[in-house]
Amino acid sequence: MAATAQILELSARDIARKVGNGDLSAVDVTTAFLDHIEATDGPIMAWQHLARDNALVHARGVDKAATRGTLAGVPVGVKDVIDTADMPTGYGSQVYDGFRPAWDAPCVTIARSAGGVVLGKTVSTEFAMMNPNKTRNPHNTAHTPGGSSSGSCAAVAAGHARLAFGTQTSGSVVRPASFCGVVGFKPTFGLLNRTAVKVLCDNLDTLGIITRDVRDAAWCTAAIADNPGFVVDEAASKPTVGIFRTSRWNQAEASSQQAVETTADLLSKTGATVKEIAVPDWFDEIFALQDAIMGWEVTQSLAYERKHLSPQLGAATRQMMHDKSLTTIDEYMDARRRLPEIRNRFEALLDGFDALITPSAPGEAPEGMPTGDPLFNRAWTVLHSPCLSVPATTGPRGLPVGVQVVGRRYDDRRTLAVAAAVEDAWKQERGNA
């Protein structure tokens, strides 16, 4: 049996390879991670439901299988807005506490079929909105982990899982990943099937992947998408990368601005071509379009909760549902008409670039339990672009600050390869410090 400390240091790729070729058992891996969770999760509270016995049953099945799968033995966390038949799915809300769907979401079925071992359900904010839940930032429990994928990002940051599922409608994968110092990948809209995920906004909800590093994110995305072409072994060589400050640059803290500037310098030193991309006049319009799409669709999607359950919901949930309900059908339809042209304009803006870099979040995780502002994520979500936060530096309070890599729709692999180059550059910089 491999030592627990050694197992806990392995990447998702290493676990899958070692379990796949018989050098390590899935039961040993699962036991090591479950023991680590039970020893360390007390102040973090990343898990809504931990399924120790169930996980060990699945791990034994992996060890007995003739073919062990791409994710053989990889410990997985599932955000609590994603349906599971053998565990409760509460959608982050007390009103659904203990609810048991009759099915697993496709992403859960696919992960298990590929040999992944689901350890349990990670904490979500209520309905993946803004009402804070119990999870704390593993780097400093006086600070928020962000939202809404709070438990998934905290669990990966704390070493509790190697793959966790999150969801993003505004910035709920990328922002908490930045706050927690992990990789949060929001693929091109629709790349990963989101059936049996609590619907918030049908045209924006995106299933995301949270891991410790970019290559694990690519590996796990390839497995869940059933597309080996997403695997990234080598980082992009001398890419052409744009610095994009967005129209909200002055709302970024100095640490977040510096993360982007330093990333540009580090990439230049590796031979990459780095150029400024001027922010076009039309870019700021995207925020109003996202408001309109999300406003109308959230109001429709949560019609039952608004009508029958509102008094039992959190204050921030009720306020957000009220605010979204003010969106008119005319605003929504106008946004639907205008978005295709805006998406095409953005694709044209990226001509000649492999990807762009921009802030992941305004800065470090705020103190207390606000989920944080998604202003540096909303545009990419409504544009349906692939984007991910890569751990970069730390801010004045010693908390993580990420940098965001954004690419073209359907060009996820190139986006991941550029992100791997960013990751490698920062690792080298930290090694030289």
Q: Name the residues annotated as catalytic.
A: 79, 148, 172
401 DSSP assignment = E
Instruction: Look up residue 299 and give its two tokens.
Output: 């109001």
Edge-to-edge strand ranges of the sheet holding 163-168: 47-50, 117-122, 75-79, 163-168, 206-211, 183-186, 387-394, 400-406, 355-359, 240-243, 273-276
- The Cα–Cα gap between 260 and 365 comes to 17
- What phi and psi, each to the nearest 5 degrees, are found at residue 320? -65, -40
Contact in structure between 321 and 299 (CB atoms under 8 Å): yes
From residue 134, give the alpha-carbon distance in Å to each of 7, 137, 144, 169.
Answer: 28, 10, 9, 21
Q: Which residue has the tokens 């099937």?
A: 193
In the numeric block, which tokens belong to residue 422?
A: 């960013």
Q: Are strands 400-406 and 75-79 parallel, antiparallel or unpaired?
A: unpaired
DSSP collapsed to 3 states, 225-282: HCCHHHCCCCCCCCCEEEECCCCCHHHCCHHHHHHHHHHHHHHHHCCCEEEECCCCHH
3-state helix vs strand vs coil in the chain, percent to 5? 45, 15, 40
Burial class (CB in 10 A: 0-12, 13-18, 19+), 53: exposed
* Residue with tokens 């359900």, as numbered in its chain: 121
